């Protein structure tokens, strides 16, 4: 269904993530992406970061009970077609989110296992990686690690396409229905190439490598677009393929803002197809 048509049910997605004061990543990127796809965006905020294109200067974490209450409030009343998670900060928040999603069973779940910002700041603590593996990955329909996150989750170094495929196989063993190992952090011809594995199908997703420094928020945008397309009724692989097209064209519209890895426009790409 094209988002311009009048839907019978309003497509709605939920993002459980942190705020980026600079507006390029986190909740802000997710809401921009949902809006672009004409999906009503709802939020459960986990943390407030003081952040710009140069880095993160402060993180204030919300109590896990507050995150749970936001998730409950949204799912109880609004109905949610798909959920994505981003910066979940610590093991307590991860456990509570997994517990609420298990109990309430909203739509499909996209887990972006956010660990480190583009500028190198830690966005989750040490205990969180184990909790992600144990509690959240088994619930995920699609998990979208970048190079660094895939290395941590698979326990291997990623240099080649074969490494990316092997990491996808290993992460799949942790329980998600599908894995997308993202190649934004790879070098040479692998930059911008992603590997999909769902237990049967191994695919590479690649359109073109975009020459840009404005890569702040690419991962958030991709996972939000996958959730948006799933809220619109697409199956996981097709949702991911369309999301990849969206993020590639969005990257071709950098916003000349900030002195570090700047943001890009979520609204310049052509109509979603
Ligand atoms: N320079 C680029 N050209 C094309 N695609 C890119 C580029 N950089 C990142 N991407 C794509 O953006 C998406 C997010 O990936 P990545 O940047 O690896 O995630 P993260 O923001 O979590 O580190 C992936 O589909 C990746 O291939
Ligand atoms: C609040 C928040 N969440 C996530 C990211 C990761 O951003 P990216 O998508 O560039 O990996 C970030 N920098 N800040």
Helices (H), the chain: 26-36, 64-78, 91-104, 126-131, 147-154, 161-172, 218-231, 236-251
Clarify whether 85 is annotated catalytic: no
pLDDT of residue 237: 98
Residue nearest to atom 15 of ligand 1 (CA): 184
pLDDT of residue 4: 61
Domain presence at residue 184:
yes
Residue in 34, 37, 38, 28 with CA at minimum distance from that of residue 14: 34
Can you list the residues of the chain whose pLDDT is less than 70?
A: 1-8, 118-120, 269-273
What is the rounded CA–CA span in Å between residue 39 and residue 73?
18
Domain total for the chain? 1
Domain presence at residue 104:
yes
Ligand 2 pocket member 87 (CB < 6 A): yes
What is the rounded CA–CA span in Å between residue 203 and residue 200?
10
Three-state DSSP state, 211: coil
Domain presence at residue 272:
no
Domain presence at residue 1:
no
Clarify whether 192 is annotated catalytic: no
Averaged pLDDT of the chain: 94
Ligand 1 interacting residues, C-beta cut-off 6 A: 146, 182-185, 191-192, 194, 209-210, 212, 215, 218-219, 222, 244, 247-248, 251
Clarify whether 182 is annotated catalytic: yes
Residue nearest to atom 8 of ligand 1 (CA): 184
Residue 121 β-bridge partners:
none
Choosing from 12, 85, 144, 215, the catalytic residue is 215
What's the gap in Å between 81 CA and the centre of ligand 1? 25
What's the gap in Å between 19 CA and the centre of ligand 2? 9
Residue nearest to atom 6 of ligand 2 (CA): 117
Domain presence at residue 262:
no
Clarify whether 215 is annotated catalytic: yes
Clarify whether 217 is annotated catalytic: yes
CATH number at residue 16: 3.40.1190.20
Q: Does ipTM top 0.85?
A: yes
Clarify whether 26 is annotated catalytic: no
Domain presence at residue 146:
yes
Name the residue of 182, 264, 269 whose CB sits within 8 Å of the most ligand 1 atoms, as the mutation to test its pocket. Answer: 182
List the domain range (segments joined by +) for residue 195: 12-251
Domain presence at residue 263:
no
Q: What is the DSSP string of 185-236?
A: T--GGGTT-EEEESSS-EEEE-S-----S--TTHHHHHHHHHHHHHHTT--H
Domain presence at residue 259:
no
């Amino acid at each position: 269904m094209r988002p311009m048509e009048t839907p019978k049910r309003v497509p709605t997605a939920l993002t459980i993530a942190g705020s980026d004061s600079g507006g390029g990543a986190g909740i802000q990127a997710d809401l921009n992406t949902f809006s672009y796809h004409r999906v009503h965006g709802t939020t459960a905020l986990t943390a407030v970061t003081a952040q710009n294109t140069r880095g993160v200067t402060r993180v204030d974490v919300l109590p896990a009970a507050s995150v749970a209450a936001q998730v409950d409030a949204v799912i109880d009343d609004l109905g949610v077609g798909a959920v994505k998670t981003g910066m979940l900060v610590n093991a307590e928040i991860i456990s509570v989110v997994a517990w609420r999603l298990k109990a309430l069973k909203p739509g499909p779940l996209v887990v972006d296992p956010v660990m480190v910002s583009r500028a190198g700041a830690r966005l989750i603590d040490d205990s969180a990686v184990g909790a992600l593996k144990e509690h959240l990955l088994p619930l995920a329909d699609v998990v979208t690690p970048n190079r660094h996150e895939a290395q941590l989750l698979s326990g291997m170094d990623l240099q080649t396409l074969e490494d990316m495929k092997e990491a996808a196989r290993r992460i799949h063993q942790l329980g998600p229905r599908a894995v997308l190992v993202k190649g934004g952090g790879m070098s040479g011809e692998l930059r911008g190439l992603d590997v999909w594995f769902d237990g049967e199908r191994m695919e590479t997703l690649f359109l073109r490598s975009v020459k840009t420094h404005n890569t702040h928020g690419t991962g958030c945008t991709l996972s939000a677009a996958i959730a948006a397309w799933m809220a619109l009724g697409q199956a996981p692989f097709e949702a991911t393929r369309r999301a990849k097209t969206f993020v590639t064209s969005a990257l071709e519209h950098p916003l000349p803002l900030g002195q570090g890895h700047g943001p890009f426009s979520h609204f310049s790409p052509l109509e979603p197809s």
